[in-house]
Amino acid sequence: MDYAKTAEALLKALGNEENIKTVTHCMTRMRFVLYDETIPKDETVKSIPGVLGVARQSGQYQVIIGNDVPICYREFMKLGAFGSGAGMEKEQPVHRKVTLKTIVNGIIDAISGSIAPILPMIIGCGMIRLLGTILQLFGVSDTLPTFQIIQIIGDAGFYFLPIILAASAAAKFGCSPGLAMALTAVLVHPNLIGMFAQGNTSFLRLPVTATTYSSTVVPALLTTWLLSKTEPFFDRVMKGWVKTIFKPTLILLIGVPLMLVVAAPAGAFVGNGLAYSMAWMQETMGGVTLMLLSALTPLIVMAGIHYALVPSCLTNLGTIGFDTILGPIMLASNLAQASAAAMVAWRTRNKDLKALATTSSVSAAVAGITEPALYGVTLRLKKPFIASMIGAGAAGLFAGIVGLRNYALVTPALVSMVQFISPDIPQNIFYAGITAVISVVVTAVMTLVLGWEDPEEAPDTEEAADTEKASDTEKDDREEAEKIPQDTFTSPLEGTLIPLSQVKDETFASGVLGQGVAVVPDKNEVYAPCDGTVTMIFDTKHAIGFKADSGMEMIIHIGLDTVQLNGKGFEPVVAAGQKVKRGELLLRFDRKLLMDEGYDITTSVIVTDMQPFQRLELLAESGNADKSTRIIRGMNQEEDK
């Protein structure tokens, strides 16, 4: 996958740099905050190669990429200065009516947008903590300097979490990261902790509540948010050297007391309240709480609001050393997705679906990355999605009954099961194993019981028979095709050629994906444009990636917005990785069905990589075309001369 081209197409679809306020990424999706959320069209974004899906949630426009999201994010960040305030003076955010929904969405956006960038730190420190626990189980003394340093590494990220989170939140809220870190550093200063050890204290006779702020989330978020609201005032009233000297001084002198007296205690109250609320739900309803949360986890992930549970988890990890909500429900849900995808891979007759289901099942089981399985397999087939919710719910019920605990904030999967190891409760890891087995087994059984409508694929035996029965005319066509140079693409469809610029989709018409032509087909078949290899067949079968033996790469995108059909009306007769000859049948599609459903059947034929050639020559952009019509040719400078 060429994520440089994905990033370029994504930038264009989102309204270019001036419409992007901030961009971050989590484990599987890029999270955009846009000035105008009406600009991107969901189906256009979904049609971009490399994009699995989109979600609008919590004030964010979320683009789901999958396991390769860090690669796509790096390519995207090369295209502009996102998140640095670029464009803010040109266009101010749209003011919306304040409602309970917008407030809740804003809070979730603040939490997810601030925590997502520091998740690698949290995961790394959590795993180091677990390493110390495992070493103790093997009899390593906690007095050894090496062991103590390992413990320090694991604890550092959590002890100084308010400072680290403040820097991330400052980028999210658009205020000074240095001042945000200085303010929150006060909360974990050793001398303040020593004062709190003696009880409540005061500042200018204002009461300061003694509490512990290490490992907390909400106080740092609230303090940084207040900074983002007050800092612009000082920027307006102060200029020059006065601003340089007195702005940070006054912010600290005013901000620290305000934080200690109001913001931090309020934040600690909220954070502890969330943790206590979760604990109360478990004590009141027992395993039913985890059963419901585990079953609903895929929907929570789809909405992108699973980060709302992170503050409660971090509070518990920092105070009592373990959590009983987030880790168990994610373990149940992740392995349920893996199991459902594995069953589909085992029973499906569709080669493309089998390949996708296999890789996505491994991804979910080994690394806990479920979006490929969720969007590419279970949700697409519907019934396996229901089966995964049933399996996760059953596993969650067991986890809730036995009180399963996780001791680190790490995405639960087979390789991270160590997060359930406890020196005090040896059976906890066995509870985790049983939870995993229940999730896998129940989901597998329910997937097979409920079944699914398997996308049909023409058997290879039929293809071989069709080849043997080829008519004399078809043989003549192949002989004629062999005379066409390999630097030339022929039309993959029969119909009427039109310039790519006339396609009624800006992503294709603008040429951002590459040069090419479009065909309005009058038949139901797609042919190979030259000798080469099928590089990819999209999950929804509406597009095919192709690489010529000459090196050029092409995408054939059938119709506009046809991704919404989820494969209905499309029947590939080749598989990804298969070698083909020019004019060989690649795919059948139902033109009448597409038009009856209201779709534009204009098919874009785009060269996405012209290497090893230096430029392209469009040989035909109008008139009638059949599979022998030459449409595109790769050229070098020597040929120009």
Catalytic residue positions, numbered: 26, 557
Write out the DSSP string of 337-396.
Answer: HHHHHHHHHHH---HHHHHHHHHHHHIIIII---HHHIIIIIHHHSHHHHHHHHHHHHHH
Closest CA to 368 of 327, 424, 323: 327
Distance of CA 26 to the CA centre of its chain: 6
Residue 527 · residue 629 · CB < 8 Å: no
Report the distance separating Cα 518 and Cα 560, nearest Å.
11
**286 by DSSP, 3-state: which?**
coil
Helix-strand-coil split of the chain, %, nearest 5: 55, 15, 30
Report the distance separating Cα 3 and Cα 55, nearest Å.
20
Q: 167-171 long-range contacts, Cβ below 8 Å, gap at least 24?
A: 168/114, 168/115, 168/117, 168/118, 169/110, 169/114, 169/220, 169/221, 169/224, 169/225, 170/224, 170/227, 170/228, 171/22, 171/83, 171/117
Phi, psi of 536, deg, nearest 5: -165, 140
What's the farthest any 2 CA atoms get from each other in the chain? 100
Compute the C-alpha angle 64/67/72, nearest 5°.
65
Write out the two tokens for 322: 């373990």
Residue 507 · residue 9 · CB < 8 Å: yes
| Bond before 190 cis per omega within 30 degrees | no
